[in-house]
Amino acid sequence: MITRIRALHRELAADDATFELVYTHCEIVWAIAEQLIRDRLLAVDADLVRAGCLAHDVGVHLLNGAAYIRHGILGEELLRERGFPAEVARFCGHHTGVGLTRDDVERQQLPLPPGDYLAETPEERLVMYADKFHSKTDPPVFLTAATFTARIRRFGDGHAARFAGMVDEYGEPDLAALAARFGHPLT
């Protein structure tokens, strides 16, 4: 499964730099999730979480100028078409922000079909949470919980509160060692 996911990133990425940026981000999200599973003794299927972390942003390669927020549904569609199990494909469409509701889609007029895009299973929730601590900016950076909270507040206090609830539940990952290992600054 892991090999197939990596090969798909390789196949779809526009160039080597994009492959490196996106796939390294996915590996970092797994490193964060793995740390949380270990430190918090989380009762999740670790192999499924790993597949979800590595696959969650595969739709970024398919944007072709479309709004970034569409990467989730594009990735989910593609993985289903390519015969990946639905439980893996779902990570793509269910990791954005701290969970997008139908109400968010309507009120913010997001370019998505009306519906809920919430992380539902324990594995989906963990991938969504771990993803918030690293950003594929140029240069890529690790984000503390405080930095991410400041970012998400723009989308409303409800989102910031939902994230705070997850920080309470999972704890904040230790990012210093990961920042050193991957050579991305911690902001």
Site stretch for Fe ion (CB under 5 A), options 5-13, 49-57, 82-90, 166-174: 49-57
57 binds Fe ion (CB under 5 A): yes
Could you give the CA distance from residue 39 to residue 57 in angstroms, rounded to a whole number? 25
76 binds Fe ion (CB under 5 A): no
Which of 112, 131, 133, 163 is close enough to bind Fe ion by CB under 5 A? 131
Kindly tell me which of 21 and 44 has the beta carbon lying closer to Fe ion.
21
Closest separation in Å from C-beta 130 to Fe ion: 9
Could you give the CA distance from residue 144 to residue 154 in angstroms, rounded to a whole number? 17
| Coarse DSSP helix, strand, coil percentages of the chain, rounded to the nearest 5 percent | 65, 5, 30
Site stretch for Fe ion (CB under 5 A), options 15-23, 45-53, 130-138, 162-170: 130-138
Could you give the CA distance from residue 126 to residue 121 in angstroms, rounded to a whole number? 9
Could you give the CA distance from residue 20 to residue 71 in angstroms, rounded to a whole number? 17
Count the residues of the shown chain that bind Fe ion, applying the rule CB under 5 A. Answer: 2
Q: For binding to Fe ion (CB under 5 A), which residues are involved?
A: 57, 131
